[in-house]
Amino acid sequence: MRRLGKLVAVAATIACLMPGAAGARMAARMHQLRMDGYVGPRAEGRREMADLVLRANGKDVSFQVTSASVLTGNLHAATVFNQVRPLRPNFFLRGDRSLIGKVEHAAPGSHLRIQGHWRSGTRDLMVSSIEASPAHPATAR
């Protein structure tokens, strides 16, 4: 009986510590991502950093990434894109529907800067801002 009591005490201690450890692990995998690019198919003769499909309020939108940065963490943007490249859509945009509507209703060729938080192993991009960005000189025509 004493062994069973000790075993239960050890199990309870481990269970109490697990959520904190798991939470720390999860927080360490959250990355802030900033992507600049344009809506629509790739411009003729261009090879962009990434050719993505974004799900914005239920609509799939083609997005060509001309530049990107991971603002927090120690990942490169190319590593993020390599993880989501085989999947379609590559990202599900999450957050305020009116904000995500800027992508959903963007005209082909519109240049946007999308910033949000991405957790490795998922396709959810928790959008914090979407704004018009100036055309990249090589893509402006």
**Domain tally, the chain:** 1
Question: Looking at residue 63, what is its pLDDT?
Answer: 98
Per-residue pLDDT of the chain (141 residues; tens, 9 = 90+): 566 555 555 555 565 555 544 444 444 489 999 999 999 999 899 899 999 999 999 999 999 999 999 999 889 999 999 999 999 999 999 999 999 999 999 999 999 999 999 999 999 999 999 999 877 555 444
Question: Residue 45 domain-assigned?
Answer: yes
pTM score, two decimals? 0.76
Q: For residue 4, report the phi and psi dihedrals to the nearest 5 degrees.
A: -65, -40
What range defines the domain where residue 83 resides?
Answer: 31-132
Question: Residue 70 domain-assigned?
Answer: yes
How far, in Å, CA of 87 to CA of 19, rounded? Answer: 30
43 touches 64 (CB < 8 A): yes
